[in-house]
Amino acid sequence: ADVAAGKSKSATCAACHGNKGISMIPMYPNLAGQKEQYLVLQIKAFRDGDRKNMVMSPMAAGLSDTDIANLSAYYASLDPAGK
Amino acid sequence: ADVAAGKSKSATCAACHGNKGISMIPMYPNLAGQKEQYLVLQIKAFRDGDRKNMVMSPMAAGLSDTDIANLSAYYASLDPAGK
């Protein structure tokens, strides 16, 4: 996967999940350092309707498998402590 | 919430999510330092059937709201880097 492409794709995500993958909003999860494969599974679940959320479903709707792989690799690569 | 009670309740969870909340299994998420309210929402979703997973649904089935609050507080309190 392409972490740099994931980073540029993540501009929209940062609004809720934070610029360093640490969310500012208690209901929204931190993504920094999360398991890459877990992230792929969850974003696909939101995209394909297996997991439903009013905010995430539309966010994931337009993503390709490549986008999802890159975004997941990017967030997995971030420092879990957000430094 | 009672972090210590959460810790003792987490014995079952540690098998997949790790003793320090960092999962050893790529498909299973790290929980260390995750947002407390997010954890409460997800465990309740698994318990109440709003979010479905073959492994997590039965795990969450027997949990009370207090258990969920304590488990969430415990995992949120852990070092996100797993130290």
Average pLDDT over residues A42-48: 98
Reported as a pLDDT band with limits 50, 70 and 90, residue A22 is very high
Q: Domain containing A15 — which CATH number? A: 1.10.760.10
Structure tokens at A7: 């980073």
Rounded Cα–Cα distance for residues B21 and B72 (Å): 11
pLDDT at position A14 is 97
Q: Is A46 domain-assigned?
A: yes
Residues of B with CB under 8 A from a CB of A: 23, 25-30, 32-38, 41, 50-52, 79-82
Low-confidence stretches of chain B (pLDDT beneath 70)? none
Q: Is B11 domain-assigned?
A: yes
pLDDT at position B18 is 97
Average pLDDT over residues A14-40: 97
What total of structural domains would you count in chain B? 1
Parent domain of A59:
3-77
Q: Is A83 domain-assigned?
A: no
pLDDT at position B58 is 97
DSSP string, A17-76: H-TTS--SSTTS---TT--HHHHHHHHHHHHHTSS--TTHHHHHHT--HHHHHHHHHHHH
